[in-house]
Amino acid sequence: MRIEVVNPECNQLGEGPLWDLAEQALYWIDSYGPAVYRIDSQGRRTSWALPEHVGSIALREQGGIICSLRSGFHALDVETGKVTLVAQAAPENPRTRINDGKVDRQGRFVAGTMDYEERDPLCALYRLDPDLSVTQLDDGIICSNGPCWSLDGTTLYFADTTKRLIYAYDYDPRNGATSNKRIFADFAAHDLLGYPDGATVDAEGYLWSCEVYRGRLVRFRPDGTLDRVVGLPVDSATSLIFGGPNLDVAYVTSMARPIGGKPPREKEAGMLFAVYGLGVKGVPEPRFAG
């Protein structure tokens, strides 16, 4: 296994890595930049500034990008840089913003909100459908992170970072409805000292979670038992996605912002990394159908 720096510039809060198979390009965000970044297979970089804090992005089938910004879901025109509100989600609250999100196999975008203070269960989980309608799926959440799906699309995984729990829901691919919420993985029960952040499911159906504040990738079997732990160069690693021509490279974001009032101890904090040689592959990420 080897780890390389892909982007040496330090993001305040690097998040949401997204590999697009058709473009052979990697997208990610700086939530506090706030900005979207793209780097292609030739190393060419593009970026787009955003007007509000951003939690996640999804590419659209019709072109452009859907962004979960603080005030709602927005469309980013990658040609002009124009940002347009397409749907409001959570009620306005100075304590909350939309955070991590991903697209299901049918092209719906699921994202949840987080409490800026990461303290109280003020937040909820939402689904943005292709017709741009919004449905609330759950509430009582402190910090939404890591939505992703089982390979057959019938299980939604979702982390409440502050609670140190990853949940599983039954997910109906026909309409995006959720039911039967249960604990999938309890970080405390597994003696993991960090917190679950961004996540993805690999081609074997195992879930990978980024253990933020501990700097590790944690792989869980489909039954929720611990399979593997991989160390990273920085404690502040935040999220991951599998990419590259063969979908066998794990791209990992990190943050340079202070943790617990103290600056990160590593100079690489906030950089984007590529992890080679894990021996597993990911699956292609769908585009938003709206």
The reply, when asked if residue 145 is annotated as ligand binding, is yes
How far apart are the C-alpha atoms of 167 and 157, rounded to whole Å? 6
The reply, when asked if residue 97 is annotated as ligand binding, is yes
The reply, when asked if residue 61 is annotated as ligand binding, is no
Length of the chain: 290
| Radius of gyration over every alpha carbon of the chain, rounded to an integer in angstroms | 17
User: At 195, phi and psi to the nearest 5?
Assistant: -130, 145
30, 100, 197, 248: the active-site residue: 197
The reply, when asked if residue 93 is annotated as ligand binding, is no
Q: Is 197 tagged catalytic? A: yes
Q: How many CB atoms lie within 10 A of CB 41?
A: 12
Of 135, 123, 126, the residue nearest 162 (C-alpha):
123
Contact 48, 76 (CB under 8 A): yes
How far apart are the C-alpha atoms of 278 and 232, rounded to whole Å? 12
Of 116, 102, 66, 83, the residue nearest 207 (C-alpha):
102
Binding-site annotation: residue ranges:
15, 97, 99, 117, 145, 197
Binding-site annotation: residue ranges for substrate:
97, 99, 117
Binding-site annotation: residue ranges for a divalent metal cation:
15, 145, 197
* Active site amino acids: 197
